[in-house]
Amino acid sequence: MLRALTRPLPFRVASSSSPLHLRLRAMATANTPDYNKPLYTPLAELDPEVKNIIDKETWRQFTGLELIASENLTSLAAMEANGSILTNKYSEGLPGARYYGGNEHIDELEVLCRKRALAAFNLDPAKWGVNVQPYSGSTANFAALTALIQPQDRLMGLGLPDGGHLTHGYYTAKKKMTASSIYFQSLPYALDPQTQLIDYAGVAAQAKIFKPRLIICGASAYPRDWDYAALRKTADAEGAWLMADIAHTSGLIAAQTLASPFAHCDVVTTTTHKTLRGPRAGLIFFRTDLPSAADLAKRVNDAVFPACQGGPHNNTIAAVATALLQVAQPSWRAYAQQVVSNAQTLASALAKHGYKLQTGGTDNHLVLWDLRPIGLTGSKVEKVCDLMGITINKNAVSGDASAQVPGGIRLGTSAITSRNMRDADVEVVADLLHRAVQLALLLQKEAGSKLLKDFVRAATVPQEGRVGAAQVRALRGEVRAFAVRWPLPGVDVAGLTKPEGIHDD
Ligand SMILES: *Cc1c(COP(=O)(O)O)cnc(C)c1O
C-alpha cells in the first residue's frame, strides 16, 4: 500500500490552472477499466441530456420571477455540500452509535449540525434536542407522529383548505389522502370565517369533544402569526401533545421576526428549504426537560430510524449545517425582515388596486390573494403567470365552495428577496401581477367559455381580432427583461447563455 503511494503517479497531473473537471477527468488512465471510466467523466460529456435539462431549469430560474411561497434559493455553499462526496456514506444510527464503520467524520458532521440547529433557534441544549436526519418535511412529520402517538390515535390539525398541510391529517369524503389520516384518526380545525384567523375558541371546543392525543399547529398558506399559548392551554386541558410544524416560517422564527413556538410546544418540525434557505430536508426538535417526556428523545430518534427511514443523507446534512451557520449570522435578521417587508409591500400594492387579500395583509412571507370577487379562478391566473415567467400557485381561500376549483393564489417573497429585491422592486412585481390578472380577465372573455382549455388556447394561440395572446408574449418579455437584472445564487449569470431547447425570443 505504502509502496503504491510512493510510486510515481501513473498519469500526468494537469497544470493547476486547468479547470477542475479537466484535472479530475485526467484521473482516468489507460489502466482504468472501461466500466470505471464513466466515474471520471463530467456530466456535460457523460450525459448531455440531463445537463441540458439542468441548464434549461437554470435559465428558467434566471429569467423568471419565483413567487412560490414554499420556495427559496439556497446558497452556493449549500449546493457544494449537497453535491459532495458525503453522498457515498452509509451511517444508519446516531453519532457514536452507528450500524456501519467509518463514521468518525460523519459523526462530527451530525453533531455539528445538531449544535447549529439548536443555536439557530436560540435553544438551550439542556432543554431541547434535535434530529437532523429527516429527508424532508413530510417524513419529519410522519416520524414525529410515530414518536408521539399510537396507530389510530386521534390528532387535530388545521384543515388543508384553510391553509394546513396534507401531513396534518388531511382526508376527503371519499379518501384518506395521507399517512396522517390513514394511520391515525384526524379532525381538522378551521379559520373563523369572519376574521379568517385561526378559530382558537373553536379548536378548544372541538378538542373538548374529540379528545385528540396530539394537536398540530403550523400551516402552508396562513399569512398571520400563531397564538401558541392558546393552543397550549387547549392541549393541556385535554392531555394532548402540542406539535408545531414551522416548515414555512422557520427562517422568520429563527430571526425572531415571528413568535417562537418553542416556549409552548413539545415537538417542533420544520423543512430546511423554505424560509430557512437550505437544501431540501427536515428537522425534528423535541423537549428533553419534561418529566412526562423523559423518553421523548429516544422516541423521536427511534421513529426517524429505524421506524420511518434508513441511512441519513449525509451530503444533505452537511448542506443543512452550512445553511444553519448562515441563519446564525447577524445578517440573517435583516434578510428575514426584508422578506416580511417585501410581502407587506406586495400586499399593500395589491390592496391599493382594490384586490381582496385573505386577512387583508400579512405578518410573514406570504400573501393569499382571493380572486373570487373579480370572477377569476386560481388556475387561470396561475396559468397566465406561468406563461409570463412568474411562478405562483393556485390556492384555496377561506370559504371556497369546491376544493377542486381554488379561488385564489398564494404568493411569497422569500426567493425574490434572495435575489436582492427590495420594496421598490416589489412594487414593480406587484404591477406585473396586476397586469397579469387584468389580462386573465381579457383572456377569459376572448376564450368564449369558462373552460380552462379554452382559456389556455386564448392565451397561447394568436387569433384574428384578439389581442390576449400577443399581450401574454409582451408581458413575458417584460418579466424576462426585469428578472435577468438580478443575480441567481450559485450561478455565474454573466457567463450564462440560453441553452438549447428554450424557445424564448
Ligand atoms: C412544505 C411543508 C411540509 C412538507 O415538506 P416536504 O419537504 O415537501 O415534504 C410539511 N409541512 C408544512 C406545513 C409545509 O408547508
What distance in angstroms lies between residue 139's CA and the mean position of ligand 1's atoms?
A: 9
Q: Is the pLDDT of residue 290 over 90?
A: no
Q: Is 136 in the pocket of ligand 1 (CB under 6 A)?
A: yes
> Is residue 84 lining ligand 1, measured as CB closer than 6 Å?
no
Task: Count how many Cα atoms sit within 13 Å of the Cα of residue 454 in the half-sphere of its side chain.
Answer: 10
170 assigned to active site: no
For residue 273 the three cell numbers come to 428549504
Q: Which residues contact 492 (CB under 8 A, 6 or more apart)?
A: none
* E strand or H helix that includes residue 410: strand 408-412
pLDDT exceeds cutoff 50 at 326:
yes
Q: Which of 4-13, 186-195, 319-328 has the lowest mean pLDDT?
A: 4-13
The domain over range 85-327 is classified in CATH as 3.40.640.10: yes
Give the residue range(s) of CATH 3.90.1150.10 domains in the chain.
334-495
Check pocket membership of 248 for ligand 1, CB cut-off 6 A: yes
**C-alpha–C-alpha distance, residues 417 and 429, integer Å:** 12
72 touches ligand 1 (CB under 6 Å): no
Q: Rounded to whole angstroms, what are the CA distances from 500 to 48, 181, 412, 497?
A: 11, 45, 30, 9
For the purposes of burial, counting CB atoms within 10 Å of the CB of 405, is it exposed (0-12), middle (13-18) or buried (19 or more)? middle
- What residue spans in the chain does CATH classification 3.40.640.10 cover? 85-327
Mutation test of ligand 1: which of 135, 158, 165 has the most ligand atoms closer than 8 Å to its C-beta? 165
* Residue of minimum CA distance from atom 12 in ligand 1: 247
Which pTM was predicted?
0.94
What is the atom index within ligand 1 of the atom nearest the CA of 219? 13
Phi, psi of 502 (to 5 degrees): -100, 125
Which member of 74, 167, 234, 271 is catalytic?
Answer: 271
Residues 315-325 pLDDT 10s: 999 999 999 99
- Is the CB of residue 218 below 6 angstroms from any atom belonging to ligand 1? yes
Helix (H, G, I), strand (E, B) or coil at 496: coil
How many Å lie between the centroid of ligand 1 and the Cα of residue 138?
Answer: 5
Residue 60 phi, psi dihedral angles, 5° rounding: -60, -45
Lowest mean pLDDT across 123-137, 175-189, 280-294, 475-489: 280-294
> What was the pLDDT predicted at 439?
97
* Among protein residues, the one whose CA lies closest to atom 4 of ligand 1: 137
Examine the pLDDT at 265 and tell me if it is beyond 90. Answer: yes
**Is 49 one of the catalytic residues?**
no
Question: What is the pLDDT of the chain when averaged over all its residues?
Answer: 94
Alpha carbon nearest to ligand 1 atom 15, residue? 220
Instruction: Give the pLDDT confidence score for residue 458 in this predicted structure.
Output: 95
Fold classified for 334-495: Aspartate Aminotransferase, domain 1 (3.90.1150)
Higher-confidence position of 321 and 292: 321
Question: pLDDT band at residue 97, thresholds of 50, 70 and 90?
Answer: very high
pLDDT tens digits, residue range 386-413?
Answer: 999 999 999 999 888 877 899 999 999 9
pLDDT in tens, 135-149: 999 999 999 999 999
Catalytic residue among 280, 356, 466, 480: 280
* The pLDDT value given to residue 56: 97
